């Protein structure tokens, strides 16, 4: 934070300072006028050559000099008081400015801290959302894996079932062929049996007639 600069004078302070300068200038002018007047009086008395006028002029010069000194001393004291007052006012202005700057700094710090807290809260919310999203993705990946394993198992089952069906069809075809062969064998045996039976019947008939 920048260091406070000298406070600018307010209109009232400017008017007061201008009034003080005018009063100081007037007083110094009066003091200088008194000294010049004392010098003129003394010079005039000396020019007349009268000791009485010279003494009166000297007394008047002393009085005027004392008055000028008094005015100058008063003006110096007033200048010191004005300077002290100005320093006090400036110190108060600095103090007020420091207090205002401190209040502004405190407000700024509070605002920044609030913004930081808001940002941290937003970051925490985003982190929670990210964690939840990652969890959902992990769950989805696990489900995909399970479904993939199920699909593989179903595919293997379909393959095995197709193989079993093909084997069953082959066995059924073999059974049909075998059944046809057996039917042919049965027909042959029946024919042979008829031949044998006919021959036996003929032999019995011949034997009975004999």
- In this predicted structure, the answer to whether residue 162 has a pLDDT above a threshold of 80 is yes
- The answer to whether the beta carbons of residues 2 and 95 sit under 8 Å apart is no
Please report whether residue 94 resides in a domain.
yes
Q: pLDDT digit string (tens) for 29-72?
A: 776 777 777 777 777 767 776 777 767 767 777 777 777 788 77
Interatomic CA distance for residues 152 and 139, integer angstroms: 20
- In this predicted structure, the answer to whether residue 154 has a pLDDT above a threshold of 80 is yes
Helix (H), strand (E) at residue 206: helix 51-209
Please report whether residue 82 resides in a domain.
yes
- The answer to whether the beta carbons of residues 83 and 46 sit under 8 Å apart is no
Please report whether residue 98 resides in a domain.
yes
Number of domains in the chain: 1
Please report whether residue 150 resides in a domain.
no
Please report whether residue 45 resides in a domain.
yes
pTM for this prediction: 0.38
- The answer to whether the beta carbons of residues 37 and 64 sit under 8 Å apart is yes
Helix (H), strand (E) at residue 37: helix 11-48
Look up residue 22 and give its two tokens.
Answer: 């005018």
pLDDT value at residue 16: 58
Q: pLDDT digit string (tens) for 93-151?
A: 999 999 999 999 999 999 999 999 989 898 999 999 889 888 988 888 888 888 888 88
Structural domain boundaries enclosing 120: 11-129
């Amino acid at each position: 934070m920048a260091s406070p600069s000298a406070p600018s004078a307010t209109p009232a302070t400017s008017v007061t300072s201008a009034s003080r300068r005018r009063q100081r200038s007037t007083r110094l002018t009066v003091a200088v006028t008194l000294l010049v007047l004392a010098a003129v009086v003394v010079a005039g008395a000396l020019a007349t050559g009268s000791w009485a006028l010279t003494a009166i002029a000297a007394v008047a010069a002393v009085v005027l000099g004392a008055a000028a000194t008094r005015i100058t001393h008063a003006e110096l004291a007033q200048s010191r008081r004005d300077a002290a007052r100005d320093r006090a006012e400036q110190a108060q202005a600095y103090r007020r400015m420091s207090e205002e700057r401190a209040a502004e700094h405190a407000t700024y710090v509070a605002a920044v801290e609030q913004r930081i807290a808001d940002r941290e809260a937003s970051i925490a919310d985003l982190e929670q959302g990210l964690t939840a999203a990652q969890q959902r993705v992990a769950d989805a990946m696990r489900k995909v894996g399970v479904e993939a394993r199920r699909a593989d198992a179903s595919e293997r089952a379909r393959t095995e079932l197709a193989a079993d069906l093909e084997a069953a069809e082959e066995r059924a075809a073999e059974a049909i062929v075998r059944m046809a062969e057996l039917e042919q064998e049965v027909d042959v045996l029946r024919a042979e049996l008829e031949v044998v039976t006919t021959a036996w019947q003929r032999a019995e008939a011949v034997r009975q007639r004999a």
